[in-house]
């Protein structure tokens, strides 16, 4: 069948590779441009399509399409977002069945943080959720070791705090009236340990950091240490 066949049963090669390899379509196009992808023994051009029964290979290795999977995980504290343990510290994959171990986290939560973590094998989805240009809003419940001073709250909310990797500006709302140690923090960036470093720059220690929302996705009633599979329309 022609590599440019457009029958209803066929699909674009870059989408097929993204599904099978867990990369973005842009990365899949790069593999095609580099001549690493073949369909039925012939080097595939950009824009090629794949039909059922086609033999697709990347760098000589068979590529089999799979379904995209999207998980919402309630990450407990004390777990790292990596595939290997760090010393005796367990990884998030110890909370998942082996059938989901190929999934990758969308962004990170450090060992001492808890809450909503997205995992998927859809590279395009991960890109859309994490690239700064898409400005996906994230919401956290943050507890500080000492009450936040009004001047520092204004600095963080209105002007931002200068960090080594740039200015950090967060939206702050009290979790409870009169309590200046517990805050709802909202942000659209995702720099490494940004919330902790922002408060630390002003002399505070974050004693609890719990993510409740990431873009359109919320933790809801997912129990600690468990996950829910969701459909992405």
List per-residue pLDDT tens for the chain, 233 residues long. Answer: 445 555 556 889 998 998 888 788 899 999 999 999 999 999 999 999 999 889 999 999 999 877 889 999 999 999 999 988 989 999 999 999 998 998 999 999 999 999 999 999 888 899 999 998 999 999 999 999 999 999 999 999 999 999 999 999 999 999 999 999 999 999 998 889 999 999 999 999 999 999 999 999 999 999 999 999 998 86
**Residue carrying structure tokens 């500006």:** 169
The pairing of beta strand 206-214 with beta strand 114-120: parallel
The pairing of beta strand 42-43 with beta strand 61-62: unpaired
β-bridge partners, 57? 38, 62
Based on the number of CB atoms within 10 Å of its own CB, is 79 exposed (0-12), middle (13-18) or buried (19 or more)? buried
Catalytic sites, residue numbers = 110
Contacts with 221 (C-beta within 8 Å, 6 or more apart), sequence order: none
Predicted structure pTM score = 0.77
- Which DSSP symbol is given to 145? S
């Amino acid at each position: 069948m022609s590599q440019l066949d457009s029958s209803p049963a066929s699909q674009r090669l870059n989408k097929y590779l993204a599904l099978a390899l867990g990369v973005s379509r842009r990365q899949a196009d790069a593999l095609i441009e580099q001549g690493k992808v073949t369909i039925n023994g012939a080097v595939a051009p950009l824009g090629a399509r794949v039909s059922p029964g086609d033999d697709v290979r990347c760098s000589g290795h068979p590529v089999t399409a799979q379904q995209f999977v999207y998980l919402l995980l309630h990450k407990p504290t004390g777990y790292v977002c990596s595939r290997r343990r760090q010393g005796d510290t367990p990884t998030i994959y110890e909370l998942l069945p082996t059938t989901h171990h190929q999934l990758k986290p969308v962004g990170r939560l450090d060992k001492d943080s808890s809450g909503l973590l997205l995992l998927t094998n859809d590279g395009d989805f991960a890109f859309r959720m994490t690239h700064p240009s898409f400005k996906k809003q994230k919401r956290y419940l943050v507890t500080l070791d000492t009450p936040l001073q009004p001047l520092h709250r204004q600095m963080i909310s209105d002007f931002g705090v200068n960090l080594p990797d740039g200015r950090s500006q967060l939206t702050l709302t009290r979790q409870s009236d009169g309590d200046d140690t517990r805050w709802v923090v909202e942000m659209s960036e995702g720099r490494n340990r940004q919330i902790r470093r922002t408060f630390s720059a002003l002399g505070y220690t974050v004693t609890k950091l719990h993510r409740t929302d990431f873009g359109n996705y919320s933790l809801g009633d997912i129990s600690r240490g468990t996950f829910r599979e969701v459909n992405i329309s």
